[in-house]
Amino acid sequence: MDPQDKSGEPVTLPDEQCLLRQFRAGSHAACAELVRCHYAAVYRFLAHLTGNVHQAEDLTQETFAAAWEKLATFEGRSALATWLHRIAYTKFIDAQRAERRSAAALAQRPAIAAVAVDPADQLLADDDASKLYAALDRLEVPARTVLVLHYLQGLSYRDMAMVLAEPAGTVKWRTAEALGRLRLLLESQETRGSPALPR
Amino acid sequence: MKSDDTLEARLRALPPLPVPVRLEARLLAAIPATQRPPRRRWAVLLAAGGALAATVLVALAWHRHQQRPDLPNGMTSIQPTKKRAPANRAPGTIPTVVRGSMASADWGNFAWPLEEATPLRASSPIPADLFD
């Protein structure tokens, strides 16, 4: 996902560097461009983690609010998208801790497929996609997080390591483990009499 | 494993979740009106460090000025000691050291060991009436 220099270290893209310079100079247009480039990916990431459209929206706004505060300290050692994912993940963890302390933690978490989709939207009309999303939603958060980051958000293991603040080797192992659990979930769905999934 | 490869491909092929149409406008509206240039912390720290160093140097210089020893009458400064020439002196005598304006001072000559007229006493005797 990220371009790399000779040492293999990720760097921000040249156009992102230009955008960052404009932002640091106080350009409102640069801020707007940053939002347009990255808000959808951040929202989708948070939607997968939270399983709640409204919470994902709120956390997305909190993520960008934190980004405006911290952008001056962004050193460009990763792509901007990776950095935003890191902030979003931190916001999600903070929200989870707050939920555990409140009665809201007892509320049933609605599935993304039931909440996020517009009935007229055809995106999840695909049976296979809906089954896969449902299985993803049933995974515990740590497993779901690594699968979403790697396969849905397209982050490399190096980027994921920055987002999750874990070694890349650990992230890779967790991803493989999560993939195995997802496969078992799907197989259990099949053995319960669900229609066979297309191969 | 082939099944994992297939599952990976299926995951990558998943259609992305739809994004609420109002979200972009909401985020754009929340962009701060004015962006302050980032504080150049390094410049502030450098200036503060320089001011602190200057203050310390001034304080040290003033302290040394205050601690300058008192000079005998007639002296305005203590000159650095000149290199001593080999002295042709009588054994047991201490050569007279010439130090700039102090050369005119009459220090007198003395011989070692000093001759004492009366034996030195370390302390005065205790009067007898103080004993019980």
Residue of A nearest to B17 (CA): A44
Say which residues have a Cβ less than 8 Å from residue A17's Cβ, sequence separation at least 6.
Answer: A76
**pLDDT given at position A198:** 42
Report which of A153, A149, A145, A139 is spatially closest to residue A111, judged by C-alpha positions: A139
Cis peptide before A3 (omega within 30 of 0): no
Q: Which residue carries 């890349």 as its tokens?
A: A168
The pLDDT tens digits of the residues spanning B68-80 come to: 665 555 555 555 5
* pLDDT per residue as tens, chain A (199 positions): 444 444 444 445 557 778 777 877 778 888 898 899 999 999 999 999 998 999 999 999 999 999 988 887 887 788 889 999 999 999 999 999 988 877 665 565 555 554 444 433 445 556 888 889 989 999 999 999 999 999 999 999 999 999 999 999 999 999 999 999 999 999 888 777 544 444 3
Tell me if B27 and A27 make a contact (CB, 8 A cut-off). no
Distance from CA of B81 to the nearest CA of A (A): 60
Say what the pLDDT of residue A196 is: 44
> pLDDT value at position A73?
80
Q: Which residue has the higher pLDDT, B82 or B9?
A: B9
More confident: B24 or A100:
B24
Per CB-CB distance under 8 Å, the chain B contacts of A73 are 38
Complex prediction ipTM: 0.76
Which of B17, B21, B40, B41 is the mutation pick for testing A, counting most A CBs within 10 A? B17
**3-state secondary structure (DSSP) of residue B111:** strand
* pTM of this structure: 0.61
Question: What pLDDT does A5 receive?
Answer: 43
Q: What are phi and psi of B71, to 5 degrees?
A: -100, 145
Tens-place pLDDT, residues B90-117: 555 555 554 444 555 555 566 666 666 6
pLDDT at A95: 93
Residues of chain B in contact with residue A53, where contact means CB-CB under 8 angstroms, are: 20
Integer Cα distance of A41 and B19 in angstroms: 9
**How many CB contacts within 8 angstroms connect chain A with chain B?**
95
User: What is the predicted pLDDT for the residue at A154?
Assistant: 95
